[in-house]
Chains A and B, each alone.
Chain A
Amino acid sequence: MTTNRIMNHPVLGKLENRKTVTFTFDGQTFEGFEGDTIASALLANGIRQLRVHEETGAPRAIYCNIGHCFECRVTVNETDTVRACMTPIQNDLKVESGKMQPAPFNTSPENWPRTYAEYEERNKANKDGDSNV
């Protein structure tokens, strides 16, 4: 584990007897302490970025860290939109960062498909198809 831990705190004391837990993030193996959330375990390992904005690809990380803002949403064991700041890490947890998604409506409104059939017709060629609509 890297050195982003506050092992000695002048008032709260030493961080002792913590059990280590192993999990993966985007295929890479990391260690955290029992009691960590996904967000805290990753930050302890120097990982800030948890996802990219679904449409723009801009990097995102925790903002509120208490479950309100949903900026830290990740995929955990195939379940998406899981809050990294509220989810305890466990051994063998498989965490994946949030990825960019197809943006079928990323045009000016007058060009938007008017029906679902029209949307499907337009996206036939698109490999990602209707994955996120």
Chain B
Amino acid sequence: MFDVVIIGAGPAGLSAAIACRESNLDVLVIDEFTQPGGRLLGQLHQEPTGEWWNGIKETQILLDKANALNTNIKCGISCHHIEKIDEGYIVHTNDGLLKTKKLLIASGAAETAVPIPGWTLPGVMSIGAAQVMTNVHRVEVGKKGIVVGVNVLSAAIARELQIAGIDLHSMALPVSNPVTKDHAHPGKVMDGLVRIAHLAPSAFLRFGSKFAQNAKVRELAVKFYPKGGVKMWGMPIHIRKAISQINGTDKVESVTMVDVTPEGKIIPGTEEIIKVDFVCIAGGLYPLSELASVVGCPFRYIEELGGHVPVHNEQMETPLDGLYVAGNITGIESAKVARAQGTVAGYAIAEQQDKVEKAKEEVKAIREAASIQFHPQIKAGRAKIHRAFQEYA
């Protein structure tokens, strides 16, 4: 019987493990990937201060701390079911059953699928897949590609691909269909685009800040969006062009690009064939919460947090006795927030209340200082889920 099992060795899981080990709890961290770090591993971007955020280095810092405290971390372990028992939880894995008094689920996020015709061809992948291949495995995903889906995540990863020397034709929207919905609506995409303007160098920065002011101006910006796109790091970003089809027999050979109206409708006769050998599809992230669901944790759908989120309070406790959550399962935010949340959860599990309070303040400070806001109303979303917890108290 472990004191605590932590599912997920990303920034949240690792920092929680460190906090628990400080109190000498018997901790086991499991992760299904081949190495710890979660999706922090692939991250690479320049902060507004000019400093590089290198996920591999950040992971190593966490691992060094965890190892100094003799933390037990097992990779290649997949969890597929959890049972609640009187003494705690039984975690079902491909390596057998794990009994634990307390359980932290830090499973992270998954990418929303944005299906467009041809998306099953080899060479089509999620933008996160390209990130892992490029920065973790150091393998080129192709020679020339295009990014379908314009949002905070895809802009950041498109830049990472460029840094690695991979040629991108442009970023454009997916064609509108019942599934792609908001991702294919230029107006809604523009609302998201202005939030990342500050990450880009001069030209786009000016462009973005001009239109961030009010909705009416954004509407005009969509209407009169430049035909050649707006360049970010030398690569055009199109929100009035969509990819209607990915073409190829055994692999990606090209995409069909069309002009779209401000509402995302195809303008007939504008088809253009663009030769590429890979396509990255980006539909944004949602909390990966199935494991909290199978154990019976209540949920709320909170758009500001990215989807269905297990009910929890500010110290990461769920209404289920001994069940905690941290990181992107609680809402889509940066790895820095996830890491700080993990520390809160870890101290809460170890019942170090003074440290919990301090760690909670740290989460708020990091959120305030964030250079990327995945959702502008994140604080409102957090308040909603914390209120929901009170209903179970």
| Pairwise interchain contact B140-A5, C-beta atoms closer than 8 A | yes
Q: Is B33 an interface residue (CB 8 A)?
A: yes
Kindly identify which residue among B120, B128, B138, B141 contacts A64, using a CB–CB cutoff of 8 Å. B128
Interface string of A7-21 (1 = CB under 8 A from B): 101111001000000
Q: How far is the CA of A129 from the CA of B135 in the complex (A)?
A: 45
| Pairwise interchain contact B163-A10, C-beta atoms closer than 8 A | yes
| Pairwise interchain contact B140-A86, C-beta atoms closer than 8 A | no
For B140, list chain A residues within 8 Å (CB).
Answer: 4-6, 43
For B122, list chain A residues within 8 Å (CB).
Answer: 48-50, 59-61
Kindly identify which residue among B35, B110, B120, B135 contacts A60, using a CB–CB cutoff of 8 Å. B120
| Pairwise interchain contact A49-B250, C-beta atoms closer than 8 A | yes
Q: A6-B164, A68-B110, A88-B76 are in contact. Are A63 and B137 (CB under 8 A)?
A: no
For A67, list chain B residues within 8 Å (CB).
Answer: 32-33, 78
| Pairwise interchain contact B129-A43, C-beta atoms closer than 8 A | no
| Pairwise interchain contact A35-B35, C-beta atoms closer than 8 A | yes
Q: Is A95 an interface residue (CB 8 A)?
A: no
Q: Is A40 an interface residue (CB 8 A)?
A: yes
CB distance from B226 to the nearest CB of A (A): 29
Interface residues contributed by chain A, number (CB under 8 Å): 35
| Pairwise interchain contact B110-A65, C-beta atoms closer than 8 A | no
Closest chain B residue to A40 by CB distance? Answer: B137
Q: A35-B35, A43-B133 are in contact. Are A9 and B139 (CB under 8 A)?
A: no
| Pairwise interchain contact A43-B34, C-beta atoms closer than 8 A | no
Q: Is B121 an interface residue (CB 8 A)?
A: yes
Closest chain B residue to A4 by CB distance? Answer: B140
For B56, list chain A residues within 8 Å (CB).
Answer: 12
Within 8 A of A (CB), among B291-334: none
Interface string of B243-255 (1 = CB under 8 A from A): 0000000110000
Q: A5-B140, A61-B122, A64-B128 are in contact. Are A12 and B135 (CB under 8 A)?
A: yes
| Pairwise interchain contact B129-A6, C-beta atoms closer than 8 A | no
Kindly identify which residue among A9, A43, A59, A64 contacts B126, using a CB–CB cutoff of 8 Å. A64
Q: Is B7 an interface residue (CB 8 A)?
A: no
Q: Is A66 an interface residue (CB 8 A)?
A: yes
Interface size class of B (residues with CB under 8 A): 35 or more
Q: How far is the CA of A7 from the CA of B78 in the complex (A)?
A: 31
Q: Is A74 an interface residue (CB 8 A)?
A: no
Kindly identify which residue among A37, A59, A63 contacts B34, using a CB–CB cutoff of 8 Å. A37
CB distance from B328 to the nearest CB of A (A): 12
| Pairwise interchain contact B164-A64, C-beta atoms closer than 8 A | no
| Pairwise interchain contact A11-B129, C-beta atoms closer than 8 A | no
Q: Is A31 an interface residue (CB 8 A)?
A: no
Within 8 A of A (CB), among B27-85: 32-35, 39, 44, 52, 54, 56, 76, 78
Q: Is B19 an interface residue (CB 8 A)?
A: no
Q: How far is the CA of A35 from the CA of B133 in the complex (A)?
A: 12
Kindly identify which residue among B78, B110, B132, B163 contacts A11, using a CB–CB cutoff of 8 Å. B163
Q: Is B134 an interface residue (CB 8 A)?
A: yes
Q: Is B165 an interface residue (CB 8 A)?
A: yes
| Pairwise interchain contact A59-B250, C-beta atoms closer than 8 A | yes
| Pairwise interchain contact A6-B251, C-beta atoms closer than 8 A | no
Q: Is A62 an interface residue (CB 8 A)?
A: yes
Interface string of A57-79 (1 = CB under 8 A from B): 01111111111100100000000
Q: How far is the CA of A68 from the CA of B33 in the complex (A)?
A: 11
CB distance from B377 to the nearest CB of A (A): 26
For B164, list chain A residues within 8 Å (CB).
Answer: 6, 9
For B123, list chain A residues within 8 Å (CB).
Answer: 48, 61
For A62, list chain B residues within 8 Å (CB).
Answer: 125, 129
| Pairwise interchain contact B32-A6, C-beta atoms closer than 8 A | no
Q: A35-B35, A48-B251, A60-B120 are in contact. Are A40 and B128 (CB under 8 A)?
A: no
Q: How far is the CA of A87 from the CA of B94 in the complex (A)?
A: 13
Q: Is B263 an interface residue (CB 8 A)?
A: no
For A87, list chain B residues within 8 Å (CB).
Answer: 34
Kindly identify which residue among B133, B250, B251 contacts A40, using a CB–CB cutoff of 8 Å. B133
| Pairwise interchain contact A65-B54, C-beta atoms closer than 8 A | no
Kindly identify which residue among B34, B76, B141 contacts A35, using a CB–CB cutoff of 8 Å. B34
For B130, list chain A residues within 8 Å (CB).
Answer: 65
Q: A64-B129, A66-B33 are in contact. Are A43 and B124 (CB under 8 A)?
A: no
Interface string of A30-62 (1 = CB under 8 A from B): 000001110010011000111001000011111
- The 8 closest A-B CB pairs, nearest first, are A65-B129, A61-B122, A40-B137, A48-B122, A6-B138, A88-B34, A44-B139, A4-B140
Which B residues contact A (CB, under 8 angstroms)? Answer: 32-35, 39, 44, 52, 54, 56, 76, 78, 110-111, 120-126, 128-130, 132-135, 137-141, 163-165, 250-251, 288
List 15 other contacts, CB 8 Å, given A48-B122, A68-B111: A5-B140, A10-B163, A12-B56, A12-B135, A35-B137, A49-B251, A50-B122, A61-B121, A61-B124, A65-B125, A65-B132, A66-B33, A66-B128, A86-B32, A86-B33
